[in-house]
Structure 1
Amino acid sequence: MSHREVLQALSGLLTGMFVSILAGTVVSSSLPVIIADLGGTQASFTWVVTATLLATTVSTPIWGKLADILNRKLLIQISLVIFVSASAAAGFSQDPSMLITCRVFQGLGAGGLTSLSQIIMADILSPRERGKYMGLFGAVMGVGTVGGPLIGGFLTDAIDWRWNFFVGIPFAVVAIILLQKTLHLPKRPQTRVTIDYLGTVLLAAGVSLLLIWVSLAGSEFDWWSTETVLMVGGSLVTIALFMIVEFKASNPIIPLKLFKNRTFTLAVIGSISVGVAMFGTSVFLSQYMQLARGATATESGLMTIPMIGGMLVSSTVVGMIITRTGKWKRYMVAGSILLTVGMFLMSTIRYDTNFALVSLFMVLLGAGVGMIMQNMVLVVQNAVDPSELGVASSGVAFFRSLGGTVGISALGAVLGSQATSLLADRKDDLMAAIMALGEKGASVADQLSGGQLPAMKSLPESVRVIIESVYGHAVADIFLVAAPLAFVTIITVALLPNLSLSDKTNHERLGETTVDGAGEEIAQLAEATVAAEPRTGQLDIVNPEDGDRKDHR
């Protein structure tokens, strides 16, 4: 395909990806208003976020397996329809339960868009060419991540929060039309379709139970409690049953033999830590901007642009270099080092740290994520059998989402614990500041003692400085806890086999495999024939020069 044909084919994928990111981020700045308007609690707020992540994580490997046995173009269109339909339905929510249900279906569609976009790229582009086009996906992610909260804040203030869920519909319609008109995938060989239903149910149940435990432990019940034993134990038993089923299934949802592939296994380990860095830090950076620096939700989106910019530039530039040179490992090792250094530097920030310095730290962190995230999938796609590309690609995305989901919940618990501990250490200073306010001090004390996140703009200066100091320190501790995971990424990337990138698309590789397989069958048949002939009679051999036939007993 020419460069123009590739861009035309990718236009629908990029638009669909933009819809997914926009619909996911547009509500981030207005979610407190939405929950309050629907009469929800803090638990409702948590579940609105967790429900989408959980459904995305669980459904990603299922979409990947379907991509190996069904029409990929149709699948991505179906996932897009599910996603945007659920988004539109969420706009008509009358209570938190309906909103949470719609967000689950949003996550199911998002899982398809996440895995299928990478799989379809492998059908269109060879691993060697894919790097320079990864920058386009990085650009779309950057625009959606930054633009979503800004658009959401504007719609909420100017019109109504329900329009946050409707804004993606026109883009989705355009994406479906573009996919139909421009995406022409090569015809794949017919395969017998068998779906591992039992494995699917066990995987969904085991992972969901684990993620629900992580999201509720520490708030609804203690980390060490009967509920923890039952939920974690049930999750481990279910996952063990899933592994047994996968060993015996004729067409498993996640072929366990993939873990015999060293590249896949190391990429899975590395993706977990990258997921924590990508999802966890974006959530807690927003809280740092709002609670430690007094920014509004819209302002916090603008203040995280340095991280998005670092991710965008690094993914684009490194992708082009990989395409031109064919060398990838040195850049991924450099990216993992940048990620780790960025994490450790972010652990030093406080509420009054010069923002130029904070921006530099965010650029380093974003650059590290950009150099690793997409290329991790690229390396796996290059190393696995082409017939298992779908399930392998979605497997990496699955563990990345799993790491992000667990990371957000676990690091959130650490943040709450650290904030409580630091507030206790500053109790005397805080009480003195409140007492100095006179009659106004009573209302401030009620606000701080209710267990809710404080409205920083409404706090008096003397109290706000103490709260900002506490949350600035607590968020920094989050990065310190996550930094060792980033160090694990350095080790896993360094151990990845330095395989050369193929210059053939997945379809071409699959064709070669089919031809090689046919050749082997013919050779085996010939050997069997030669071995059998002496026992059954004679073998006729014709001299190619004189045509004489000679009989050999």
Structure 2
Amino acid sequence: MSDLKTATGTGGKAADRKPKREPQQRSVRVVMLALMIAMLLAMLDNLIVGTAMPTIVGDLGGLEHLSWVVTAYTLATAASTPIWGKLGDMYGRKGIFLTSIVLFLIGSVLSGMSQDMGQLIGFRAIQGLGAGGLMVGVMAIIGDLVPPRERGKYQGLMAGVMAIAMIGGPLVGGTITDHLGWRWSFYINLPLGAVALGMVTAVLHLPKRERTKSKVDYLGAGLLTVGITSIVLVTTWGGSQYDWNSAVIMELIAIGVASLAGFLFVETKAAEPIIPLHVFRNRNFTLMSVVGFMSGFVMFGAVLFLPLFQQSVQGASATNSGLLLLPMLLSMMIVSLIAGRITTSSGRYKIFPIVGSILMVAGLFLLSQMDTGTTRFTSGIYMAVLGAGMGFLMQITMLVAQNSVELKDMGVASSATTLFRTLGSSFGVAIMGALFTGRVQDEMVARGGGAATTASAQLDAASLAKLPVPVREAYEFAVSSGTHLAFLVGASVGLIAVVASLFVEEVPLRGAGPEPVADAAG
């Protein structure tokens, strides 16, 4: 009788579920498309706007405030990331994600309508607030919809979006600015955002979640915002607008340390902390935070200095700066796809952060060996090695971090991992940038007799060609020496990621999550 019951009951249920499997998978693919469009919005923006900045300054003036157009956006994004993640955990992922998209689009419209540099800076901050929710929202929703064991299938897709943004951003930005005007570098977000809004609203259905009755931890959010803002300002201003030992930098460091210390204390008392400290008791989560920080440090440093080296030393055109990174980006995308497939089929992942970290360090060391005689082909091989390392690391850090927490903390895990990567990029650009600038200065004094200043770090190939031969050769050597030092330090710092990866424990990936509820809005 029990056998008959099993055959007609359980078997019947299985049969009932089977026809739904394909539509459900199709629905996830449609949702993933919408999420990738939203991710593309966040990634493209700075790259497009960066290309349009010379034209914007020429129209609006305010050259002295130029850096704030980027800094305001970066600050708002970094400070709001953990808050968006926690709000999604507390009040539902879908509504919070849609809100972030709307806020980003409002900021885009206002930025495009700016009449002076002050307005543009303020509106860029609004845009940055929305961008903070875009990235963490995408990662957390994927964490809700797709079990960790199955998530590897989509790693290549996410790496592909990053490659498209980095290659296409400067090209799209230049084309839009030349033919439509700089304001369309912001308005271009509207059609993409509208498609993402429509698709997410129509097809995203998340599991019902019990809403918390606790209040938002406003004090913790405020202290964390002040702390992150101080850190980003220190890394942005230190060594450029202010000396590292200046009063302003020292005050910012003191404010940052005090705010973060206060934040840690408040989080131990709050009913719903912005970042629950208990997640750091999980060894894998903490280790992935360290690896994420280091990968951010390396990734953005490489993206900053590789085009500069190829333009200044190898004579490449600045217009095609995104294409210069193609060997690294293609390698990253292909390796990420392969690693994702293997993770999905085997459920094993520990080897990937180890191999990825080693390749990352190896790639940085090879790049540090470039000099004025290095060909583009050779530098492309070196970039491909670095890209392979990043391909093993970029998505696996998020995957392991999300697998290390309960489903109710998915937003926290996503936002914390994103935040550590963002802070790593800030430190990487600041430290590697300071070392690079200092070395270029020293070499130009020694070889160029001071004929070219650090401002010449912005010279493109055409401008360099107009310099006297001795000065140009001295500058090329100085840039080569600067990148050598920056990448060598990056390789040394990357060893921390290698050590952290060795201690990762291979915890089985969750193979199934809760069934999506078709009539729930999330």
Q: TM-score scaled by structure 2?
A: 0.90
Task: Please show how residues 291-310 of structure 1 align to structure 2 within 5 Å.
Answer: 291-310=312-331
Offset of 1:345 from its aligned partner? 0.7
- Secondary structure of the equivalent of 2:50? coil
CA distance in 2, matches of 1:301, 1:461: 29
Structure 1 position 161 matched with structure 2 position 185: no
- Which of the numbers 467, 471, 474 marks the counterpart of 1:460? 467
Aligned to 1:388: 409
Aligned to 2:342: 321
CA deviation map 1:155-183 (0-9, x unaligned): 22223222111112111101100101111
How well do the aligned residues superpose, as a CA RMSD in angstroms?
A: 1.9
Q: Which amino acid aligns with 2:489?
A: V
Aligned to 1:340: 361
Contact 2:207 2:514 in 1 (8 A): no
Aligned to 1:271: 292
Aligned to 2:123: 102
Structure 1 position 495 matched with structure 2 position 519: no
Aligned to 2:276: 255
CA deviation map 1:321-342 (0-9, x unaligned): 1101111111221111111101
Task: Please show how residues 36-185 of structure 1 align to structure 2 within 5 Å.
Answer: 36-41=58-63, 43-185=64-206
- Secondary structure of the equivalent of 1:35? helix
Offset of 1:507 from its aligned partner? 6.5
Contact 2:57 2:66 in 1 (8 A): yes
Aligned to 2:482: 474
Aligned to 1:438: none
Structure 1 position 356 matched with structure 2 position 377: yes
Contact 1:23 1:87 in 2 (8 A): no
Structure 1 position 240 matched with structure 2 position 247: no
Offset of 1:123 from its aligned partner? 1.2
Aligned to 2:397: 376
- Where do 5+ consecutive residues of structure 1 fail to align? 432-444, 509-553
CA distance in 2, matches of 1:370, 1:272: 15
Structure 1 position 35 matched with structure 2 position 40: no
- Where do 5+ consecutive residues of structure 2 fail to align? 1-20, 517-522
Aligned to 2:11: none
CA distance in 1, matches of 2:184, 2:311: 24
CA distance in 2, matches of 1:506, 1:405: 37
User: Larger Rg: 1 or 2?
Assistant: 1
Offset of 1:68 from its aligned partner? 0.8
Offset of 1:487 from its aligned partner? 1.0
Greater shift after overlay, 90-99 or 360-369? 90-99
Structure 1 position 210 matched with structure 2 position 215: no
- Secondary structure of the equivalent of 1:20? helix
Contact 1:10 1:183 in 2 (8 A): no
- Secondary structure of the equivalent of 2:49? coil
Offset of 1:381 from its aligned partner? 1.1
CA distance in 1, matches of 2:139, 2:240: 37
- Which of the numbers 216, 225, 231 marks the counterpart of 2:252? 231
- Which of the numbers 329, 332, 341 marks the counterpart of 1:311? 332
- Secondary structure of the equivalent of 1:26? helix
CA distance in 1, matches of 2:92, 2:123: 26
Aligned to 1:486: 494
CA deviation map 1:515-550 (0-9, x unaligned): xxxxxxxxxxxxxxxxxxxxxxxxxxxxxxxxxxxx
- Secondary structure of the equivalent of 2:127? helix
Q: TM-score scaled by structure 1?
A: 0.85
Contact 2:144 2:407 in 1 (8 A): no
CA distance in 2, matches of 1:275, 1:144: 16
CA distance in 2, matches of 1:290, 1:37: 26
Q: Which amino acid aligns with 1:357?
A: T
Q: Which amino acid aligns with 1:485?
A: V
Aligned to 2:26: 4
- Secondary structure of the equivalent of 2:315? coil
CA distance in 2, matches of 1:345, 1:88: 43
Contact 2:94 2:206 in 1 (8 A): yes
CA distance in 2, matches of 1:419, 1:377: 36
The percent identity for this pair of structures is 37
Greater shift after overlay, 216-225 or 367-376? 216-225
Offset of 1:451 from its aligned partner? 6.8
Greater shift after overlay, 200-209 or 26-35? 26-35
